[in-house]
Structure 1
Amino acid sequence: MPVANPERALALSYAPMEARGALEALLALDDALALLLRTTREPALGQLRLAWWREALARLDREAAPAEPVLTAIAGEVLTRGVRGEALVPIVHGWEVLIEEEVLDRAALQRFGEGRGQLFVAAGAAVGASPGDPLLAAGQGWALADLSRNLRGSAEAESAQVLAVPLLDEAAAGRWSRNGRALGALVHLARLDLRAEGEPPVGAPHRVGRLLWHRLTGR
């Protein structure tokens, strides 16, 4: 989902002002990794490029960020809020599953969701979410729902959706804390995306209304 998407921009506006940059930086990291996979044809090259990201993120804990915009933003916005670069490495491992596995069976999809879903755990720490916010389920469900839409029409897409739905339902069942509501809004968008026939109608009144209700109530 691109940063320019108005629904994502609305969801990000629910984060505390001082933490909004951190959430934007983390989603930009996820976008960069997604772009890497879309533009890499050779698996071996993809693994090398992902290894560079893993090492670069871990080095942020002991060295200044290199002249790379995403890493600079991570160092300036995320690490300054108590999140370590090493904690972001599992996100890369999650994306790496798509290169390592020729067939995305249930176990591979679960590994993907668990790894990429750590983005929500890091984001929750950065925005000051409550310990009661369902960050693990939310992150895994969001990651799998997004993957299922990008694999649309395949058996793997159906499997990813089957795994995503109960996780997203769990994440949407309770009341999100005020600081965590930006992440809860992303959960609701993912659920709406899975229910849409064809391309999701971004900006449709029922979608925006759902986000506004979540902002007011946390549900």
Structure 2
Amino acid sequence: MKVNGMFAMLARLGRTFPMTEPLSDPERELALSYAAAPIRPHLRTLWRLDERFGAIVAGTTETTIGEMRLLWWREAIAISDEGAKAEPLLEQVAGAIEATRSDAAEWGAMAEGWHALLQEPLEAQELDRFANERGGRLFTLSAEILSGSAEPFVTAAGRGWALADLSSRISDADARSEARAMARKMFDDAGKTRWPRSLRPLGALAMLARRDAVSRRPRRQGSPVRVARMAWHGLTGR
């Protein structure tokens, strides 16, 4: 199933369960489709916020401007009830935080991970900060929405996922190699746990990222093999 095929399947799901605006990354969108329907919109909003932070960093040509935009978002989330009308995603974030009884500061703090990528050169310290503040925090918050709590292996898997994902998106060969090596170590720390059913949306992403971290081939998002592996993980947790 190619990327277009994935979106077609998601569209069919959308006719069954109301959906918020889909994520730009089709594999993440497919993974989140395994979440229970009542909480899926809130989970998707969290991941859309992560994508927004990533878009800010990707579109930044002046570090100071990027830092200011990330800071604005972090502060706006903390007082989202006052500024939600100005930004549709911010309004959705406020609603999701209220519905899931999440900590708004934790949602906003993901921006700190993305802020690390604005630093040059991108070395191990910045990569570790990115892994913790973006990946670890994103998986922890997601697990809390999915199941009410987050075990340490989930946070460790999130850290590895963030670095494996980053390694597929950056052009700096040294930073890419370092990110992949760090991701492998973090996945070792996470262990090879059978993911509980409620957390399999995260487990599917972590499973693919673990494979990406050890493969020498470029990842082919949306390939039939990757989609089949996600489906198998959804059934087995492995």
> What's the TM-score, normalizing by structure 1?
0.88
1:216 matched to 2:216: no
Q: Distance in 1 between matches of 2:216 and 2:93?
A: 33
CA contact (8 A) 2:76 2:83 kept: no
Distance in 1, Cα, partners of 2:132 & 2:23: 23
SS in 2 for 1:134: helix
Structure 1 gaps, min length 5: none
2:24 and 2:60 map into 1 onto residues whose CA distance is 23
SS in 1 for 2:38: helix
Query: Does residue 16 of structure 1 match 2:36?
Result: yes
**How many percent of aligned residue pairs carry the same amino acid?**
40
Q: 1:110 matched to which residue of 2? A: 128
Counterpart residue number, 1:57? 77
Q: What are the ranges of 5 or more consecutive residues in structure 2 without an aligned counterpart? A: 1-21
Q: Where in structure 2 are the equivalents of 1:159-198 lying within 5 Å?
A: 159-171=178-190, 173-194=192-213, 195=215, 197-198=217-218
Letter in 1 for 2:134: R
Match of 1:158 in 2: 177
Q: How many residues align?
A: 215
Q: Secondary structure at the match of 2:206?
A: helix
Once superposed, what is the RMSD of the aligned Cα atoms? 2.1
Q: Encode CA deviations 1:125-177: one digit per residue, 9 max, x unaligned.
A: 11125544722112111111111111145101110111112323444610112
Who is 1:138 aligned against?
A: 157
Residue 41 in 1 paired to residue 37 in 2? no
- State the 1:40 CA deviation: 1.5
* TM norm structure 2: 0.82
Q: Structure 1 residues 10, 133: CA separation in 2 closer, same or farther (over 3 Å shift)?
A: farther
Cα displacement string for residues 95-152 of structure 1 (whole angstroms, at most 9, x for unaligned residues): 11112x2222212211111110201111111112554472211211111111111114
Say whether 1:7 aligns with 2:27.
yes
Q: Are the counterparts in 2 of residues 128 and 179 from structure 1 also a CA contact under 8 Å?
A: yes
1-side partners of 2:143 and 2:170: how far apart? 27
SS of residue in 2 equivalent to 1:18: coil
- Deviation sequence 1:37-75 (CA, Å, 0-9, x none): 111211111111111011011113x64623312212212
